Structure 1
Amino acid sequence: MQFHRFTVVFYLIFLFSLVLAEASGQSPKQRYELNSGWVCKNIKELESSGEDLSRRGFPTKEWMPATVPGTILTTLLDNHKIPDPFYGMNNTRIPDVYDTGNDHYTYWFVKDFKEKAVSNEQVWLEFRGINYKAELFLNGKKINKQRLEGMHLRHQYNITHLLSADGDNRLAVVVYPPDFPGAPNGGQGGDGTIARGLTTQYTAGWDWIQPIRDRNTGIWDKVTIEKTRIVNLKNPHIVTLVPGKRLPEGAQQPAVIKVTAELENPTSKAVNGFLQYRLAGQLIRKAATLLPNQTTTVSLPDYTLQNPKLWWPNGYGKANLYNLKLEFVSNTAGLLDEESVNVGVRQIDNIWNEHTRSMGAFVNGQKIFIKGGNWIISDAMLRFNEERYDAEIRYHKDMNLNLIRIWGGAITERPEFYNACDKYGLLVFQDFWFSGDCNGRWEDPMKKDDQWTRRKYPDNHDLVLTAAEDQIKMIRNHPSLAFWCGGNEITPPDDILLPLRDEILPRLDGTRKFFDFSNSDEMSFNDLGGNGDGPYGIQDPKSFWGSRTFPYNSEVGSVGVGDYVSLERFIPGENLVAPEFKNKIDSVWNYHKYIGYDEHIDPYGKAKNAKDFAMKAQLINYDQYRALMEGYSAHMWDWYTGSIIWKTQNPWTALRGQMYDYYLDPNACLYGLRKGSEPLHIMMNPLDSMVSVVNNGFSTRRNLMVQASVYDMEGKQYFNTQAFNEVGPSSVRKLFKMNGFITKLDKKEGIFVSLRILDEQKVLLTENLYWLPGKDGKYGGLQQMKKANLEAKAVNVGKGKISVSLTNAAGNPVAFFNRLALLNKDTGKRILPAFYDDNYVSILPGETKVITLEYKDELAVRKTIEIYGWNVPKQIIEIN
């Protein structure tokens, strides 16, 4: 009975402590960024020690304002010390660290901040990324015992004992560039020695970027102060198990939630309490004793979630998320620390497809045809922000893609990137930090060291394994993270690969497929001789339909020149000429990595100037990426289980491989790919004119009315057919050929072919318009088309949302290939980013098309809509 009374009293005290914690309205964790008020100075201008610099009395009034988070180059640019390296030939005017020596880009950073240590409170300083080495000092004392090394690594320090009594503190950080910045000699990764350190390989230059002169040296990611009540809850791990084959709609069978977390007790006394979380109204908890000065991993009981709202990839269902708040509650002091995690309940499996001889991706038991894009990095100078990440990932969603592969020559992407992928339903294929070019897959005369020496890069293998553990913990909870990969086109060395594959990933994750490298035979195997990637460059659209490549292609594609407005942003006026790749190419176009469009432009008429070139380039862009995804979709589950485009975005102002430019302005690649990747799509094989319907969904689509029409260059409709059909789940169905009609009607100048799918109520579900050349393979008819004046109206339909209707009068020719752009009315500049549910659209005679666009609404900015097309005069319309 006495034991029972004691238990009751103890439980009442425990409940009372919880009430006090909640009544205070204060979270036990307080976190804020040190993201302003930094100053910096080059190391050559100082002789003082870190102890001296980190004392409040040391004068810093004459120091340069520093951008943190950011790189040295960003700080210099923000202070007008260098020209914009993304414009013209400016990058050639900036000293390169290989030539100057590392001291030129070695800087001290100083930040004053207010913070006091309070009883029963711990204060933590965290750096989420420093490149490449650093020493840290606070209030005259050194923080780190050993010099920090490695770009891909977080660092957290308990600074409670170092804080000043009056709350006035000074932090001083010296940051050194990579020990081996590498010679930027024009090779992939320069001379390759950049890979001797654990840093971004692309900064020594690649075939899509010029060298980044400071090699991304700096405090490049967030610096955070975090306050906890005694215990530090960190690195939670959430695993969801979704057995069976599911559908997005309807009631669901249960799912299992598994949760663990690390609990750090930095004090000299043991702490008793509970690790717990609430989900769907249920409390799941486990008692834990935290020993002094130790970190303990606690596993909670498995929780069975009834009727879960599942997370699905884009195009297959909603990307549902739960917020899970994990707490540690002391037996005596109430809530001590907490972490919030967004959880997507889903299960990802991989099953080898013996027919295609490639890996198949399954989510919640359903096979997913992978339509992916390769991602380098958001910004080559690491100027990251949540809004830009959100916009870029939304563009990928708008392309109807379902996967992004993060290329190995850059970084482990930031949590904000993954948050956006979680939100928009983009699976992520995450490479580790190796590439075939720098890490020795091939002999290469541009490289300083031989193949076998490069095969051992980086120099510090233990550092790689430490960083891998840390970065896995950082991103493993994101439902979008689908696959791990050892490296781009090469495995890491065995003493990195084997521990990573056989011990670290099973221990820290254990739920995701690990590919040893990006075009490994375990990913796909081509009967012609293993796996690979490509082709690259502009292809004949017919080749995507008729030439079989690798069954799960990790890299295919290449073009992506923007329109004239895009080119004007970074090419000086005197260099805005029609490029001639095979003759003498302009120096700026060449410096920005232009790929020749020449023989592909010429069938539309040789480009008269840069503006004419840019417009015709969009026709090629659209056709390329529509045909690419149509060709792969036409053979899904037969030749292919997926493809990943090289590449969908650029972190620099390059002239290749992008669906939108660095300034977030889309080009026609985005909308051609959007069309070809539709979940429900109608298409025509250019080899034999077979019309097919693709259904990427999990359910049969019934009672689909299919329409096919042909229009000549005058706008006359020659042919129309209708048929009702059904298409099974995750399949493609061939319907009928149009070659007889096309041959009969294919006059010298070419024709348009319009394909549509309607439902039983004759509501348009999707449409597709092809423009075909004349018998000579040229587009003479397009060059001679009559003008089609569109009637255009724009209406605000909500905050940050505009509806634009475009009407083409009967008797007109097709109003072909119209670009819409949202403008700032006062400046005439495009408002970016802006998201259109379609663009580069064509309107048939006598028809109206409605386009909806969305943007971040800024009330003070007056807006108009610009419209122009191939045979449609440019007009600016007001928004009602």
Structure 2
Amino acid sequence: MAFRTLHEDWTLSAVEGPVPDAVLGISIPATVPGCVHTDLLAAGVIAPPFDGDNEAEQQWIGSTAWRYETRFDWHDDGSHRHDLVAHGLDTVATIELNGSLVGRTENQHRSHRFDVRPLLIDGENTLAITFASPVAEAEARSAAHGPRPHANHHPYNALRKTASNFGWDWGIDVATSGIWKAIGLDSWSGVRIASVRPLVDLSHRADGVDGRLDARVALEWADGSAEAGWEVSASAAGVSATQHVEPGTSEIRLQLDVPDVPLWWPIGHGDQPLHDVDVQVAHSSAPVAHWSSRIGFRSVHVDTAPDADGSPFVLRVNGEVIQVRGANWIPDHAFLTEIDADRYRRRVRDASEANMNLLRVWGGGIYESDDFYAACDEAGILVWQDFLFACAAYAEEEWLAVEVEAEVREAITRLSPHPSLVIWNGNNENIWGYHDWGWQERLEGRTWGLGYYLSLLPGLVAELDPSRFYSPASPYSFDEALHPNDDAHGTMHIWDVWNTVDYSVYRHYRPRFVSEFGFQGPPAWSTLVDVVHDEPLEPYGAQMLVHQKANDGNLKLERGMQGHLPEPRSIEEWHWATQLNQAAAVRFGIEHFRSLSPRNTGAIVWQLNDNWPVVSWAAVDFAEHRKPLWYTLRDVYEPRLATFQPRDEGLALIVLNDSDDPWNGDIRLQRTLFDGTVLAEASASASVPARGESTVAIPTELAAFGDSSREILTARLGGFATAIHNPVEILDQALDPDPLVAEIGEADAETGAATVVVTARSYARDITLLVDRFDIGARVDRGMVTLLAGERAVFRVTTGSGLDRSGLLAADVLRHANSLHRGRSVLDDQVG
């Protein structure tokens, strides 16, 4: 058996559409896997799509049909079958071999296999794949089958293609075409392993845990394979099993019991042991076909049974409750073939180093590469995987349903080995949309997807992967009689904050589990100005607005700062203030949600990453710079967190301990002036169980601020970051605009990194080094650091050699919230 990739010597040409004269009739080299946009860019035919307003100038690409063609030599090796295998075609494609039709495809999210033995010729063969215009196809299918509601401007819901590829409120509209995954010839005889689903379970004993591997092996047989003597074997974790099979058997089950198996745990709960699984088909003891992967032994359960407060959403792994601290994940590049294994690992590292334990793969994206899930397996990052339905109504008739079922079967099967994957979710916001977004009137009785979410998808999960939990939607209340976005039931999304109201409104909610919420902020300065060239640079410049996809996004940024921060007076202040406010809003929300534990069992912020340079909700921008939000997430997602929160009885300190060890200790409470002068103090003690929480009431006299503009309340407790309560917003605080003494320290002895040492003369909020303004390749180990008077912090900066590192102390690099007051008469009036 042999698989031969066909990735060489492809050419690309436009077939029909609004093609510029310069592109008509030409053929350019094509990269496979790849897409039309990246090929055009490599050939110098188009300018960089992300730059300036090139998005608008290049809309013709998605409205054009494209033809890929290659030639290859083939000689018969005696195999019974020669299959053309396309692991991913984007999207409506016609495949021809030597001028004869091989087949047609219309789903980006699945693979295709065609027996092409009758069409192959000895010697040179010509393979051609013609892709219909994705924009024209989506519009034509929508018109033919009846338009259905959807977000944004293209009817992406009429095509099984990445929804966000047509643009989103954070994403560029680059409707791609191309051979986006491997393609080749699979030559084989006898039998091949079509798929393996290595499902795991646990059996608990009084003195240990045993693992069970239930390997479901699907087989495909070549014509004429009637001889006896076939056997299938599986091995994992030092255990093996073998079963004889008769020719034509389509599926078998091999069960392996592994005694005293080491369990796979999410990060922060234990280790992540992974075991190789090998499946082999042999004939008369001679190996014929082989499959391998890795698994981890663990159990998954989600409790949604009604309780006294509504309906919870409690995720348990190996029987242990997991307090979810997560982020939503979108495709990490607008051109999917530009994402490699290393980039996936860097993003997963961004998650784990921010104290996250779960990533939700959002339904407007893709089923990611196995490289993504493998990185999560190794890091202990749990994965919640949406099926690919987002913010739209979807037809349930056969023309689309047949593709949906094939796609879902393949996705469940392919991803089944990964222990990190714990939740399958039916859709993003579609049931909510049907209830609240005026869909019912617009649909006029047409199907909209409910049959997928309540019948087809759960049925396929139960059939193919009963080891994992299925949720019909996000948000969802787990009772069809309830509103799908009820904070007392199941999962909820909170989007009135950001869209219409102040972020203080987060406190109006008491959610059981928040699977989407977030706030916008711009990317790093260097990421922004690399693609935005307005003169002068300002928030409402033409190119700036190209890179702000949210409806009235910059107006919402302005509204979101009101009452919290001084109004920015320059583009540099706007950039820093909006980044700062993004972090403040999300901190406010997460501290509130976590303080509701155990009622609240998780928060998944929107979003971890970007797919191009853009003003967005991301914590890590497209150029891989960690925004101030990322540093804030690392702080508020610390397993041990102390936070001041209002309660009916007054101000309280909520002490959260998401670790295996109980905490007992003393708490030092102080009300001070910004210069450190102690105005009042008290002591308290707390006992917090492992994976538990405790509430400490704050004495009334301690919280009785005399001058709210100059005072703060702090709580110090061993093993926790100092908790700080600001009675008023930065806007109303009499902060010293120049509170720091800063110097370049000795280079770090281990890493050689530059060090910046800052000491606070007065209370200094959210100290951050925007190091990309010094060196675009620089990285810093910490940010959003708040210091009390007299405290000191060291920042370690990895940067290029030969640079004058004193530039790290420049005012546009060394930032803090206090600096927004610099030169303002209102502060002078307060101080005076």
Q: TM range, normalised to the smaller chain? A: 0.7 to 0.9
Letter in 2 for 1:339: W
CA contact (8 A) 1:815 1:869 kept: no
Q: Take 2:362 and 2:584, find their aligned partners in 1: how far apart are those partners?
A: 26
1:772 is aligned to: 726
Q: Take 1:718 and 1:806, find their aligned partners in 2: how far apart are those partners?
A: 32
1:211 is aligned to: 173
The residue matched to 2:634 in structure 1 has which SS? helix
Q: Take 1:684 and 1:488, find their aligned partners in 2: how far apart are those partners?
A: 33
1:299 is aligned to: 253
| Partner deviation per Cα, 1:430-482 (whole Å, 9 max, x = no partner) | 2223234x31xxxxxxxxxxxxxx66578422222222212222222221222
Q: Take 1:528 and 1:847, find their aligned partners in 2: how far apart are those partners?
A: 42
2:291 is aligned to: 339
2:495 corresponds, among 511, 535, 556, to 535
1:830–1:511 CA distance, 2 compared to 1 (3 A): same
2:316 is aligned to: 362
Query: Does residue 761 of structure 2 align to residue 817 of structure 1?
Result: no
Letter in 1 for 2:691: S
1:152 is aligned to: 109
Query: Does residue 36 of structure 2 align to residue 66 of structure 1?
Result: no
TM-score (norm 2): 0.82
Letter in 2 for 1:350: V
Query: Does residue 133 of structure 2 align to residue 177 of structure 1?
Result: yes
CA contact (8 A) 1:319 1:425 kept: yes
Q: Take 1:244 and 1:560, find their aligned partners in 2: how far apart are those partners?
A: 48
Q: Take 1:208 and 1:266, find their aligned partners in 2: how far apart are those partners?
A: 48
C-alpha displacement of 1:849: 4.2
1:38 corresponds, among 10, 22, 32, to 10
| Partner deviation per Cα, 1:536-587 (whole Å, 9 max, x = no partner) | 444655443x32244223322232322423322322142522569xxx9964
Query: Does residue 64 of structure 2 align to residue 105 of structure 1?
Result: yes
1:191–1:525 CA distance, 2 compared to 1 (3 A): closer
Unaligned runs of 5+ in 1: 1-27, 46-60, 440-453, 759-764, 876-880
1:840 corresponds, among 761, 784, 806, to 784
CA contact (8 A) 2:51 2:531 kept: yes
CA contact (8 A) 2:764 2:786 kept: yes
| Partner deviation per Cα, 1:12-71 (whole Å, 9 max, x = no partner) | xxxxxxxxxxxxxxxx7x6565445422111249xxxxxxxxxxxxxxx97201132222
Q: Take 1:68 and 1:421, find their aligned partners in 2: how far apart are those partners?
A: 27
2:334 is aligned to: 380
C-alpha displacement of 1:283: 2.3
Query: Does residue 95 of structure 2 align to residue 136 of structure 1?
Result: yes
Letter in 2 for 1:343: I
Letter in 1 for 2:10: W
CA contact (8 A) 1:34 1:225 kept: yes
| Partner deviation per Cα, 1:319-347 (whole Å, 9 max, x = no partner) | 33212122222215x22221111102111
TM-score (norm 1): 0.78
CA contact (8 A) 1:265 1:290 kept: yes
| Partner deviation per Cα, 1:456-513 (whole Å, 9 max, x = no partner) | 5784222222222122222222212222222222256355446524642222112222
1:863–1:149 CA distance, 2 compared to 1 (3 A): farther
2:421 is aligned to: 481
C-alpha displacement of 1:224: 4.6
The residue matched to 1:410 in structure 2 has which SS? coil
1:89 corresponds, among 42, 47, 53, to 53
CA contact (8 A) 1:579 1:589 kept: no
Letter in 2 for 1:655: V
Indicate the percent of aligned positions where both proteins have the same amino acid. Answer: 21
1:280–1:210 CA distance, 2 compared to 1 (3 A): closer
Q: Take 1:806 and 1:210, find their aligned partners in 2: how far apart are those partners?
A: 37
Query: Does residue 223 of structure 2 align to residue 282 of structure 1?
Result: no
| Partner deviation per Cα, 1:66-105 (whole Å, 9 max, x = no partner) | 13222222222232322333233221212346xxxx7x52
Q: Take 2:264 and 2:557, find their aligned partners in 1: how far apart are those partners?
A: 41
1:626 corresponds, among 587, 606, 624, to 587
CA contact (8 A) 1:794 1:803 kept: yes
1:434 is aligned to: 389
1:313 is aligned to: 266
Query: Does residue 201 of structure 2 align to residue 241 of structure 1?
Result: yes
Unaligned runs of 5+ in 2: 18-24, 432-447, 817-832
Q: Tell me how large the CA RMSD over aligned residues is.
A: 3.9
Letter in 1 for 2:210: P
2:348 is aligned to: 393
C-alpha displacement of 1:259: 0.9
Q: Take 1:180 and 1:460, find their aligned partners in 2: how far apart are those partners?
A: 13
Q: Take 2:153 and 2:493, find their aligned partners in 1: how far apart are those partners?
A: 23
| Partner deviation per Cα, 1:349-387 (whole Å, 9 max, x = no partner) | 122251441232111111122233222322223233222
Q: Take 2:770 and 2:230, find their aligned partners in 1: how far apart are those partners?
A: 58
Q: Take 1:585 and 1:133, find their aligned partners in 2: how far apart are those partners?
A: 32
Q: Take 2:116 and 2:375, find their aligned partners in 1: how far apart are those partners?
A: 32
1:792–1:153 CA distance, 2 compared to 1 (3 A): same
CA contact (8 A) 1:536 1:556 kept: no
CA contact (8 A) 2:523 2:613 kept: no
CA contact (8 A) 2:474 2:491 kept: no
CA contact (8 A) 1:689 1:737 kept: yes
1:779–1:121 CA distance, 2 compared to 1 (3 A): farther
1:307–1:515 CA distance, 2 compared to 1 (3 A): same
The residue matched to 2:304 in structure 1 has which SS? strand
Q: Take 1:625 and 1:140, find their aligned partners in 2: how far apart are those partners?
A: 57
2:735 is aligned to: 782
The residue matched to 1:483 in structure 2 has which SS? strand
CA contact (8 A) 1:485 1:517 kept: yes
C-alpha displacement of 1:727: 1.3
Q: Take 1:717 and 1:216, find their aligned partners in 2: how far apart are those partners?
A: 62
1:509 is aligned to: 465
Letter in 2 for 1:199: K
C-alpha displacement of 1:841: 2.4
CA contact (8 A) 2:95 2:130 kept: yes
Letter in 2 for 1:237: R
Letter in 2 for 1:133: V
Alignment of 1:638-717 (within 5 A): 638=599, 640-685=600-645, 688-697=650-659, 699-704=660-665, 706-708=667-669, 712-714=673-675
CA contact (8 A) 1:243 1:365 kept: no
Q: Which deviates more from structure 2 when the two are superposed, residues 671-680 or residues 508-517?
A: 508-517
The residue matched to 1:533 in structure 2 has which SS? strand
Q: Take 2:417 and 2:60, find their aligned partners in 1: how far apart are those partners?
A: 39
C-alpha displacement of 1:318: 2.5
| Partner deviation per Cα, 1:129-177 (whole Å, 9 max, x = no partner) | 2122222234555433xx11222211124556665545x5543222223
Q: Which deviates more from structure 2 when the two are superposed, residues 309-318 or residues 519-528?
A: 519-528
C-alpha displacement of 1:396: 2.0
Q: Which deviates more from structure 2 when the two are superposed, residues 508-517 or residues 233-242?
A: 508-517
1:465 is aligned to: 405
| Partner deviation per Cα, 1:719-752 (whole Å, 9 max, x = no partner) | 776655431132221134276445446453454x
Query: Does residue 504 of structure 2 align to residue 551 of structure 1?
Result: no
Letter in 1 for 2:161: T
Q: Take 1:245 and 1:536, find their aligned partners in 2: how far apart are those partners?
A: 49
CA contact (8 A) 2:754 2:798 kept: no
Q: Take 1:44 and 1:263, find their aligned partners in 2: how far apart are those partners?
A: 41
CA contact (8 A) 2:742 2:809 kept: no
CA contact (8 A) 2:327 2:606 kept: yes
1:3 is aligned to: none
1:850–1:587 CA distance, 2 compared to 1 (3 A): closer
1:273–1:457 CA distance, 2 compared to 1 (3 A): closer
Q: Take 2:745 and 2:777, find their aligned partners in 1: how far apart are those partners?
A: 18
1:269 is aligned to: 225
1:326 is aligned to: 279
1:869–1:551 CA distance, 2 compared to 1 (3 A): farther
